[in-house]
A and B are shown apart, each in its own frame.
Chain A
Amino acid sequence: MPQIQAHELSRTFRVAERETGLLAALRSLVRRRHRIVTAVDRVDFSIEAGEIVGFLGPNGAGKTTTLKMLTGLLHPTGGSATVLGCVPWRRHPDYLRQISLVMGQRSQLYWDLPAADSFEVQMSVYGVDRVDGRRVLNELIELLGLGGVLKKPVRTLSLGERMKCELCMALLYRPRVLFLDEPTIGVDITMQARIRQFIAGYNRSHGATVILTSHYMADVTALCRRVIVIDHGRILFDGPLAALAERLAPFKVITIDLERDANGSDFSRYGELIGQEARKVTLRVAREAAAGVASRLLADLPVLDLTVQDPPIEDVIGRVFAESARPAAEPVGASAS
């Protein structure tokens, strides 16, 4: 029995719009123009207990709107969904006690108070047994390395510290389903890795179901076996991550910093030139050729620094859309569900 099911789930927004300028502002007093924007368009998927699923798409693709519906923040305008057998937007307290939404850009913590105070309130609000709660809190503090920040007001914490506190808040009551919206946004690479490890550990030890949205490919590759790609509110791919990587991102991005100006050099023999400044060059090369190209660049040119990275997920998806002649409505991959 799937733990999360969405069927023809849709959400539209009525958005007021007008031209720029004073005249347009005055005109809008008399006659307001509205446009219906479809944020999520009849999406279908189901997720089994214990899965970690990456929910990917460019900004405005509809992934966060879908999460908002699944967590009960938004009512859909069409279709249906159930999470743990409940209709999310009925917001039944028993349902809300079993889910958690961590938002990279929105805090559950109380800004002016020490993080420890937020944790105390959270345990009381979620009716966590005092003895159990204390034990879970101590575990989380240790796992997340929060010992040094508990007494500091939240507003004085660094982004990474705050994000770890958000995770602690979210997991204090042991939710069965975890919705993570950009959980590593803005934090440094070391912290990103720790957060990923922690999420994977929580999934393993508690069998929790996790839906993750992220712009960082590294988050997705580290955590998700399955990904759902969404754009313009429609699911374009639902299947194993391996298939997505081969299909949508069969290339790497190599960036080199040079000792002297590269003007006049021909970089097309190494790969597709996608960016060039005086001493910095960015190339797109086939995934399997990346290592060889990197070696050649180091041998041929006065390279100060060289990085090989997966392309940003937005670029990958955008490129696929640009290259694909298929209509957006047609799925690129086979459904895993």
Chain B
Amino acid sequence: MSGLPRAWLALLRRSIAGMIQYRGEVALWAIWGVIYPAVALTMWNAAARDAEGGAIRGFGPSEFATYFLLSMIVQHLTAAWDVHEMGWQVRTGQLSPALLRPLLPMWGSLSDNIAYKLVTLVILAPIWVLVAWLVQPRFEGGWLDYAAAAAAVLLGAAIHYLWQYNLALIAFWSTRTNAVGEFWFGGKLLFGGLMAPLPLLPPLLQGVAAMLPFQWIIGFPIEVAMGRIRGVDVVAGLICQALWALAAVAVFRVAWPASLRRYGAVGV
């Protein structure tokens, strides 16, 4: 093996070793990702029990259980955090060593991203099983739904990672990007389907969500896995996801060179 695959696998091995070194902290971050869906599930279950017919627009307790259990998994597998990292790297000049290598720094950050997801699976998989046992979800999808959902999760992860990285490039203009990251997380909560399934949003917010990338990261893969979106709608959704990912690549190709022209390489 040579070239980029060899380099990237070496970076991945390094990232996994680094994550294992900080396993305690990494575990806490991973568990934090379970808390949001758990809180949302508790609230919506309570609301469904009080609702007429025990369901809200077709979502009863078991649908909510399935939805939020899947949202725990999808949120984990599509996680990205470069918008928080990049500001620090640019502000302190920590990006410089990565820029000296004959490889885009993005590959290093991608290896960290995937290493985090792999290492924390060891902690999260038992938690997901425990939550599933507690909330009794109902999986009605067939193997085709799950295969399509796997593709949707992959594309969702690509969309999230690439757009986060593009957003992180703001760091070259304004080094404090944490607030931007929080704003993005808010978008994911509301328009992505983390706080509530998208069909439950008011029509106006559904209209806004349709124009943003968030639903393609969280909501769409979950609904495909639940079998709520099927057939031609799945294909159309996967094409939309691919277009969002391609648009992110196009933006990156323009924004990255422009960002480097702004880089001050502080503190080297």
Contacts and interface: CB of A to CB of B under 8 A. Distances in A.
B10 A121 contact: yes
B267 A125 contact: no
Contacts of A106: 93, 96-97, 267-268
Interface string B1-22: 0110011011101100110011
Given A103-B268, A106-B267, A106-B268, A73 B14 contact: no
Contact of B97 (A93, A108, A117, A127): A108
A97 B13 CA distance: 22
A272 to B, nearest CB: 36
B259 to A, nearest CB: 11
A167 to B, nearest CB: 14
Given A68-B265, A73-B263, A106-B267, A125 B18 contact: no
Contact of A121 (B11, B21, B261, B267): B11
- Counting from the closest, the 10 A-B pairs by CB-CB distance are A124-B10, A93-B102, A96-B102, A73-B265, A112-B21, A125-B7, A121-B10, A108-B97, A75-B261, A68-B265
A127 B101 contact: no
Interface in A67-126: 68, 71-75, 89, 91, 93-94, 96-97, 100-101, 103, 105-108, 110, 112-113, 117-118, 120-121, 123-126
Interface of B (DSSP majority class): helix
Contact of A124 (B6, B96, B267): B6
A72 B99 CA distance: 8
A41 interface: no
B100 interface: yes
Contacts of A96: 100-102
Contacts of B263: 73-75
A64 interface: yes
B265 A110 contact: no
Interface string A131-158: 0000000000000000000000100000
Instruction: Give the size category of A's interface with B.
Output: 35 or more
B245 to A, nearest CB: 24
Given A110-B14, A117-B14, A126 B102 contact: yes
A181 B93 CA distance: 15
Nearest to B10: A124
B97 A74 contact: no
B103 A93 contact: yes
Nearest to B11: A121
B7 A107 contact: no
Contact of B18 (A97, A101, A105, A113): A113
B97 A125 contact: no
B46 interface: no
Interface in A181-201: 181
A306 B103 CA distance: 52
B7 A127 contact: yes
A124 B2 CA distance: 8
14 contacts: A75-B260, A89-B260, A93-B103, A100-B100, A106-B267, A112-B18, A112-B22, A113-B17, A117-B14, A121-B10, A121-B14, A124-B6, A126-B101, A127-B7
Given A96-B100, A108-B100, A112-B22, A91 B260 contact: yes
Contacts of B186: none
A13 interface: yes
Contacts of A73: 96, 99-100, 263, 265, 268
Contacts of B101: 96, 125-126
Contacts of A75: 260-261, 263
Nearest to B101: A125
Nearest to A155: B21
A26 to B, nearest CB: 19
